[in-house]
Amino acid sequence: MAEFIKIYEENPNPKEIKKVVDTLRKGGIVIYPTDTVYGLGCDITNTKALERIARIKNIKLAKANWSFICADLSNLSDYVRQIDTATFKILKRALPGPYTFVLPGNNNLPKVFKKKKTVGIRVPDNAIARALVEELENPIVSTSIRDEDELLEYTTDPDLIYEKWEKLVDVVIDGGYGDNVASTVINLSGHEPEVIREGKGDLDIF
């Protein structure tokens, strides 16, 4: 049965953040708020946890296109090939924010993602998500809990999220009501920025 932990975005309690991160370090799966929809995440370095999420989402791990949640752009070079100045300027302008940027991956990617040529990078404008990553000291692999065919309140109300997911995950964070619009996905791995999915976030900044 999952733990249900209330954390306030304005001032995330370090003790509660540490508690959630301890669960992530032990291979736990966590549902947490972002600046878009609630996310389902685990430690990027834990293969067993990644496999669990793949089973929950009913997909093959090798085929999963999940985002890496980062606290800022400082650890970008850990998993992304060197990017040019123009690309970096776009990232700097848009992040933290409701965008997922597809970038060329490098050789440091965890074994299960080694065959991937690109990775999706997120720096959410949400203090809880960023505090978790800072405490964990590496990215959280994340996928949204939003299902296209479900009632929207199931993905925005933490109580209902807990009700639905309590037997599948280890922690559900109540960070207040979530949004039901996913992030905008922009591919920066080619010559020109390409919008793959229009979601939350202003496209004019590109």
Q: How far apart are CA 58 and CA 68, in angstroms?
A: 19
* Residue 147: per-residue pLDDT: 66
More confident call, 32 vs 61: 32
Whats the size of the chain, residue-wise?
206
How many other CB atoms are found less than 10 A from the CB of residue 83? 17
Q: Residue 101: name the closest of 73, 122, 72 by CA.
A: 122
pLDDT averaged over the chain?
93
pLDDT in tens, 91-129: 999 999 999 999 999 988 888 888 889 999 999 999 999
| Rounded Cα distance, 171 and 32, in Å | 8
Nearest CA to 124 out of 112, 142, 108 is that of: 142
> Could you give the percent of the chain with pLDDT greater than 70?
96
Q: What local confidence, expressed as pLDDT, does residue 57 receive?
A: 92
pLDDT the model gives residue 154: 63
C-alpha–C-alpha distance, residues 80 and 148, integer Å = 30
Question: Taking residues 2-26, what's their average pLDDT?
Answer: 98
Instruction: Supply the pLDDT for residue 150.
Output: 64
Q: What is the mean pLDDT of residues 168-197?
A: 94
Distance separating alpha carbons of residues 12 and 54, to the nearest angstrom: 29
What domains lie within the chain, and their CATH numbers?
3-205 (3.90.870.10)
Q: What is the mean pLDDT of residues 83-92?
A: 94
Confidence of residue 76 (pLDDT cuts 50, 70, 90): confident
User: Which pLDDT score, from 0 to 100, does residue 73 have?
Assistant: 93
Question: The pTM is what?
Answer: 0.94
Average pLDDT over every residue of 74-85? 90
Query: Between 205 and 18, where is the model more confident?
Result: 18
